[in-house]
């Protein structure tokens, strides 16, 4: 793995956050989104895999920090499998918070803990084929094939992807309102992302998961890296923590699709490869 210098955040708050991590790494946590941050975005979400350098970089960094966490909308077990985390030595300090914190996998015991799923997810999922067919007909063709959407069943949530549609953005926009109505009927909310609309229970977001984990660990500094609209809640959480005296660094895994995240970040890196370089440089800076 190449030797990259530790990048300097462009904001004063980010520089303060990085300085706090470097000064007391054993009291700091680093948290990461999975898709688009540790893994490249791919047309078929089932084919997503962590960047080959991600798990080794995390295993090098983790022993020097209080904890590292992966916070994802995916089921925890899938993130663990797609990340190769269970097969990587040195990750005893890793926790995977799946389904926005509703599920938890801890590398120390390799067990998953989770509450029962929200019943509205299964009900909405059962209605999805009819909704997709209706939208497909409304935009000029027969059935959901016109929309070109694909459904990802996530257990505690269900996601509708349009990346493989003939008109990905058009399909995304056509589905926004019908899926919002479907979600409301079943007590769910819709979380938009990079050409994906996810139906999930309210109160599940990366900001809540990150804040709870910072409090649980007693961390005195935090770094969070993400790439998508769903990461805005985690960015907001870090900003709130900073206002409460917990320094933090906001990292955007560079994306031309989600410019709002880059505008709010203290540091923008070049996708998952850039995140791996950042992890490696940070590990080196704290002596690991």
Catalytic residue among 33, 228, 231, 277: 33
Integer-rounded Cα Rg, in Å, for the chain is 19
Q: Is 227 designated active site?
A: no
The number of angstroms, rounded, from the C-alpha of 3 to the middle of its chain's C-alpha atoms is 26
Three-state SS for 200? Answer: strand
Cα(43)–Cα(269) distance, integer angstroms: 22
Nearest Cα residue to 6 out of 278, 254, 274: 278
245: left (phi over 0), alpha (psi -120 to 50) or beta: left
| Residue tagged 């933090």 (tokens) | 248
Q: Provide the CB-side half-sphere exposure for 181 (13 A, CA).
A: 9
CA distances from 180 to 73, 133, 173, 231 (A): 18, 16, 11, 20
Cα(143)–Cα(130) distance, integer angstroms: 9
Pairing of strands 221-226, 248-253: parallel
> Which residues are tagged catalytic?
33
């Amino acid at each position: 793995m190449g030797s990259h210098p530790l990048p300097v955040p462009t904001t004063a708050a980010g520089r303060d956050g990085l300085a706090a991590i470097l000064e007391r790494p054993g009291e700091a946590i680093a948290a990461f989104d999975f898709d688009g941050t540790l893994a490249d975005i791919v047309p078929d979400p089932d084919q997503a895999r962590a960047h080959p350098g991600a798990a080794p970089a995390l295993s090098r960094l983790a022993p020097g920090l209080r904890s590292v966490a992966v916070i994802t909308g995916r089921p925890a077990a899938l993130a663990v499998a797609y990340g190769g985390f269970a097969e990587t030595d040195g990750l005893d300090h890793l926790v995977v918070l799946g389904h926005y914190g509703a599920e938890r996998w801890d590398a120390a015991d390799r067990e998953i803990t989770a509450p029962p799923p929200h019943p509205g997810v299964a009900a909405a999922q059962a209605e999805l084929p009819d909704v997709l067919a209706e939208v497909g007909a409304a935009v000029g063709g027969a059935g959901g094939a016109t929309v070109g959407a694909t459904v990802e069943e996530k257990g505690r949530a269900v996601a509708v992807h349009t990346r493989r549609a003939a008109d990905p953005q058009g399909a995304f926009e056509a589905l926004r309102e019908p899926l919002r109505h479907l979600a409301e009927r079943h007590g769910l909310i819709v979380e938009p992302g990079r050409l994906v609309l996810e139906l999930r229970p309210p109160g599940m977001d990366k900001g809540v998961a990150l804040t709870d984990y910072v409090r649980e660990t007693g961390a005195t500094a935090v770094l969070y890296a993400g790439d998508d609209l769903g990461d805005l809640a985690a960015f907001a959480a870090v900003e709130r923590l900073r206002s409460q005296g917990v320094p933090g660094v906001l990292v955007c895994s560079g994306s031309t699709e989600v410019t709002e995240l880059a505008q709010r970040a203290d540091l923008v890196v070049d996708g998952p490869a850039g995140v791996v370089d950042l992890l490696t440089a940070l590990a080196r800076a704290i002596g690991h």
